[in-house]
């Protein structure tokens, strides 16, 4: 991994082109790293484009031990969307109601609802890539995922001193690069025919203040920077992608589900025995099965040869059991709420609270990471405030209503003891709160 000191050395050794060579090398090195590859893989699963099941190819195995692609039988590729659901549930549970501050002006200065949306994007990116980066761009928060940002850390302190964002709309489009440093941002572009990136826009400060005359003529322009690099790191609790250790469960589930669908479709619960047809090899048999699937008839021309159909009973119970077990394990390992544990509106508040406990434990870690991220941003903007969060939970509305009713009735019974005014205050308090 390239460091901030590496960049300084490259610039010192070659003042003219050293920086541009360094930027290009850094991006290329980063694209070869495990962090980058894992981030891309996590995004594939998040988009429900599970690489393992997408690339799965059924094979025919010959008696001699050889293989050939099976292009004749069913090959369903059923990709579960569980990873997207789990990430979304995790993010929305903590940030679905937005972040609050002691002062309403703080949220307004950060961009209001736009800040809440950017914060959700940042946490999603951090869970996918292990790390996300937030750039305070004058009046708004911009988010970069691990799949598009090269961090340049200080070798001694470990602090983020600079970073390179890279993106490309399509492969045949130019590569865009942005170098973020403490004293400004440099925009670059690189085409396939170029050996080095070309400067698209020279280094610009992060803040600009302009004063105008009543006529509209510019009177004064002040270029400023922040006290530090305006790029802040948001790390996931484990500082790694959530797909690590989880993808095997997804792959196993998808392969079993797809295999089950294939078994049902291949022969419609019927298999065939071919007698006295020794001239048929494995490929011929596969073609024979394809004919059965299309014309629904078996044609046997050899003397004495015959084809007999037999029904087959697929192991439904065992497949369902393993799929249910895998799904249960995924909910457990990702520490999210399994809705099957809450049956409609019949579950008690205690049962609901118990079902949320693993998610609360994980959210405590997430909240600490997000709070640290926001606190660094507030410090950058010289704002004295602290964030707070309201988690989105399911409640038993009927139980809450009945509990409130019982508490109100109890308060009324104490009217002679407490007095009418005190009882009225108690009832108002009960009506306005939860259980």
pLDDT at 260: 83
Instruction: Answer whether residue 291 shows pLDDT above 70.
Output: no
Residue 278 — φ and ψ, nearest 5°?
Answer: -65, -15
Which has more pLDDT, 162 or 417? 162
- Residue entry with tokens 């991220």: 373
Residue 203 tokens read as 């280094």
Average pLDDT of span 121-139: 96
Average pLDDT of span 253-277: 73
Q: What is the pLDDT of residues 66-86, one digit of tens each?
A: 777 777 677 888 999 999 999
CB atoms within 10 A of CB 39: 24
Instruction: Answer whether residue 226 shows pLDDT above 50.
Output: yes
Measured CA to CA, the distance from residue 247 to residue 250 in angstroms comes to 5
pLDDT at 229: 96
Of 166-175, 188-197, 283-292, the poorest mean pLDDT is in 283-292
pLDDT at 125: 98
Measured CA to CA, the distance from residue 375 to residue 379 in angstroms comes to 6
Average pLDDT of span 105-125: 96
Instruction: Answer whether residue 277 shows pLDDT above 90.
Output: no
The residues spanned by each domain of the chain are: 4-235, 247-336, 400-435
pLDDT at 429: 72
- Contact indicator for 389, 119 with CB cutoff of 8 Å: no
pLDDT bracket for residue 293 (50, 70, 90): low
pLDDT bracket for residue 275 (50, 70, 90): low
pLDDT at 407: 66
Of 1-5, 122-126, 323-327, 426-430, the poorest mean pLDDT is in 426-430
- What is the overall mean pLDDT for the chain? 84
pLDDT at 387: 96
Average pLDDT of span 180-209: 90
Of 30-39, 257-266, 306-315, 401-410, the poorest mean pLDDT is in 401-410
Which has more pLDDT, 184 or 311? 184
Of 104-118, 345-359, 395-409, the poorest mean pLDDT is in 395-409
Average pLDDT of span 253-264: 86
Q: What is the pLDDT of residues 362-401, one digit of tens each?
A: 999 999 999 999 999 999 999 999 999 998 875 544 445 5
Q: What percent of the chain has pLDDT over 70?
A: 76
Which has more pLDDT, 258 or 306? 258
Instruction: Answer whether residue 58 shows pLDDT above 70.
Output: yes
Instruction: Answer whether residue 279 shows pLDDT above 60.
Output: no
Q: What is the pLDDT of residues 141-170, one digit of tens each?
A: 999 999 999 999 999 999 999 999 999 988
Three-class secondary structure assignment of the chain: CCCHHHHHHHHHHCCCCHHHHHHHHHHHHHHCCHHHHHHHHHHHHHCCCCHHHHCCCCEEECCCCCEEECCCCCCCCCCCCHHHHHHHHHHHHHHCCCEEECCHHHHHHHCCHHHHHHHHHHHHHHHHHCEEEEEEECCEEEEEECCCEEEEECCCCCCEEEEEEEECCCCCCCEEEEEEECCEEEEEEECCCCCCCEEEEEEECCEEEEEECCCCCEEEEEEECCCCCCEEEEECCCCCCCCCCCHHHHHHHHHHHHHHHHHHHHHCCEEEEEECCCCCCHHHHHHHHHHHHHHCCCCCCCCCCEEEEEECCCCHHHHHHHHHHHHHHHHHHHCCCCHHHCCCCCCCHHHHHHHHHHHHHHHHHHHHHHHHHHHHHHHHCCCCCCEEECCCCCCCHHHHHHHHHHHHHHHHHCHHHHCHHHHHHHHHHHHCCCC
pLDDT at 90: 95
CA 323, distance to chain mean position in Å, is 23
Which of 248-262, 347-361, 362-376: highest mean pLDDT? 362-376
């Amino acid at each position: 991994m390239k460091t901030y000191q590496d960049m300084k050395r490259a610039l010192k050794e070659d003042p003219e082109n050293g920086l541009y060579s360094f930027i290009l090398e850094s991006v290329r090195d980063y694209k070869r790293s495990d962090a980058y590859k894992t981030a891309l893989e996590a995004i594939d699963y998040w988009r429900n484009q599970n690489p393992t099941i997408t690339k799965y190819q059924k094979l025919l195995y010959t008696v001699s031990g050889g293989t050939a692609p099976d292009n004749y039988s069913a090959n369903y590729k059923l990709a579960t969307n569980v990873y997207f659901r789990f990430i979304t549930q995790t993010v929305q549970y903590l940030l679905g109601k937005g972040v609050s501050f002691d002062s309403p002006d703080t949220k307004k200065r950060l961009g209001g609802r736009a800040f809440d949306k950017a914060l959700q994007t940042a946490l999603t990116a951090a869970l996918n890539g292990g790390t996300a980066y937030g750039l305070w761009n004058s009046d708004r928060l911009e988010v970069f995922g691990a799949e598009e940002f090269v961090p340049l850390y200080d070798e001694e302190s470990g602090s983020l001193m600079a970073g390179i964002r890279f993106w490309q709309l399509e492969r045949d489009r130019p590569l865009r690069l942005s170098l973020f440093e403490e004293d400004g941002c440099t925009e670059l572009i690189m085409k396939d025919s170029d050996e080095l990136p070309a400067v698209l826009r020279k280094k610009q400060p992060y803040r600009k203040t302009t004063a105008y005359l009543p006529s509209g003529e510019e009177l004064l322009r002040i270029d400023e920077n922040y006290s530090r690099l305006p790029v802040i790191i948001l790390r996931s609790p484990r500082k790694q992608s959530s797909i690590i250790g989880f993808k095997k469960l997804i792959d196993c589930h998808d392969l079993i589900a797809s295999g089950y669908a294939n078994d049902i479709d291949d022969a419609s619960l019927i298999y065939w025995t071919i007698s006295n047809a020794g001239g048929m090899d494995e490929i011929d048999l596969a073609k024979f099965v394809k004919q059965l699937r299309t014309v629904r008839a078996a044609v046997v021309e050899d003397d004495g040869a015959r084809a007999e159909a037999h029904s087959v009973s697929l192991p439904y119970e065992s497949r369902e059991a393993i799929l249910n077990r895998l799904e249960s394990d995924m909910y457990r390992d990702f520490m999210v709420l399994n809705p099957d544990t809450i049956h409609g509106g019949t579950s008690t508040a205690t049962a609901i609270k118990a079902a949320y406990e693993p998610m609360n434990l994980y959210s405590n870690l997430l909240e600490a990471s997000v709070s640290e991220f926001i606190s660094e941003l507030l410090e950058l903007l010289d704002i004295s405030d602290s964030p707070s969060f309201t988690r989105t939970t399911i409640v038993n509305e009927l139980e809450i209503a009945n509990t409130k009713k019982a508490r109100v009735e109890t308060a009324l019974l104490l009217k002679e003891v407490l007095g009418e005014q005190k009882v009225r205050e108690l009832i108002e308090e009960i009506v306005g709160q939860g259980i």
